[in-house]
Chains A and B, each alone.
Chain A
């Protein structure tokens, strides 16, 4: 890819990731990893790590904006956040023990199912 074209892809990819992550309050990582890995050709591990580097500032900026607009729940944030920390450590350990293909398929099916429930039956 030519350098100019690559810059256009990066910037427009960034704009899309930021918009989605701000609008839906998440999901930017799932767009950022394929952008880095499939489009820009970074190795898998580096793509996952660098995606966090990109998502973290967006999440902070969006979180502040949501807070300013009054969308906040102290009890919900503290208890969910505590769960995420415990779960995150467990997930990092489980990654070496569980077959990633099977787990990935299960999560993907869950996303389709939950998504359909929200989109059509709510």
Chain B
């Protein structure tokens, strides 16, 4: 029964991740809230669960020439270097506190996504209405 819940949560996280919207961030709290997985273990599950999917996505993106390898040295290398001490640090943070910090982090990400989605939408609408005006002028002053 519990396995089934794990699979369903994985599917939900996978769908969100597959749409490029950060599935891992929702997968972790779903695990802690619905399967009573401990926060650290939920984070470990998330880290591993997305590796095969990311590898497949990476392969497809590489084929489509969408990868920019120039960021490997400047962004990915320092990121890997910072991730190891951070992963060691969690050992000294209790599951309850870690979960609370995670909640705050999730709220910030959610609010950021809300604002950026709305800003993009408004900007698009403005551009569209400007384009409509220009084509109207063009049709009048032909």
Query: Which residues of chain A have a CB within 8 Å of any CB of chain B?
Result: 7, 10-30, 32-36, 42, 45-46, 48-50, 52-63, 65-67, 69, 71-73, 75-77, 79-92, 94-95, 98, 100-101, 103-105, 107-120, 122
Contacts and interface: CB of A to CB of B under 8 A. Distances in A.
15 contacts: A14-B82, A18-B79, A20-B86, A25-B28, A49-B57, A52-B57, A71-B43, A75-B2, A80-B27, A87-B16, A88-B56, A91-B16, A91-B23, A115-B102, A117-B29
Nearest first, the 4 closest Cβ-Cβ pairs linking A and B are A83-B10, A87-B14, A91-B18, A25-B43
A107 B117 CA distance: 11
A30 B21 CA distance: 7
Given A58-B80, A82-B10, A119-B103, A14 B45 contact: no
Interface of B: 2-4, 6-33, 35, 37, 40-58, 61, 64, 66-69, 71-72, 74-91, 96, 99-114, 116-117, 121
Consensus secondary structure, chain B interface: helix
Contacts of B37: 73, 76
A30 B22 contact: yes
Contacts, number: 364
B99 A62 contact: no
A23 B3 CA distance: 26
Given A62-B47, A87-B18, A107-B21, A115 B104 contact: yes
A40 to B, nearest CB: 8
